[in-house]
Amino acid sequence: MLSHDCQIRVWYKHTDQMAICHHSNYICYYEAARSEFLRALGMSFAEVERRGIMMPILEVQSKYRKPAYFDELLTVRIILREMPSTRINFFYEIYNERGDLLNTGMTQLGFIYSDSRRPCRCPEWFLELIRSRWTE
């Protein structure tokens, strides 16, 4: 298993008329967590694409438990529970500053070749990045 935490502040533009974080922003928070997770592994999505691989979103799930409010500092925890094959599943937990669990989610990404847009297995170099930091 691998996990990584990143922090995101709820900006005014992320809120609705009630000063509550709009539900659509959570998907963006998931994306930010994926980018930071990959950087923590020593890779970026830009580098993945330079190596000829793209990772499109195949599925998104999000469960809203409690609202986040304007100016709160959120902790977005991203978790990889299993090694990828042709797909990779990321799980998310979003907490407020008091440690309350606000949201849980999951995204499933596929692997495709950049040039042909055809599906492929997770590249070995990507698996090695994960294996080198994997904990049980």
Structural domain including 27 reads 2-131
31 pLDDT more than 80 = yes
Q: What is the average pLDDT score of the chain?
A: 96
d(CA 42, CA 118): 26
136 pLDDT more than 80 = no
Q: Which long-range contacts (CB under 8 A, 24 or more apart) does 32-35 make?
A: 32/6, 32/8, 32/76, 33/4, 33/6, 33/76, 33/77, 33/78, 33/90, 33/92, 34/78, 34/90, 34/107
Number of domains in the chain: 1
d(CA 4, CA 82): 15
d(CA 76, CA 115): 33
Give me the percent of the chain exceeding a pLDDT of 90.
97
Residue 136 lies in a domain: no
Q: The domain spanning residue 72 has which CATH number?
A: 3.10.129.10
Give me the percent of the chain exceeding a pLDDT of 70.
100
pLDDT at 135: 86
Q: Tell me the pLDDT tens digit for each residue of 38-78.
A: 999 999 999 999 999 999 999 999 999 999 999 999 999 99
- pTM (two decimals): 0.95
pLDDT at 46: 95
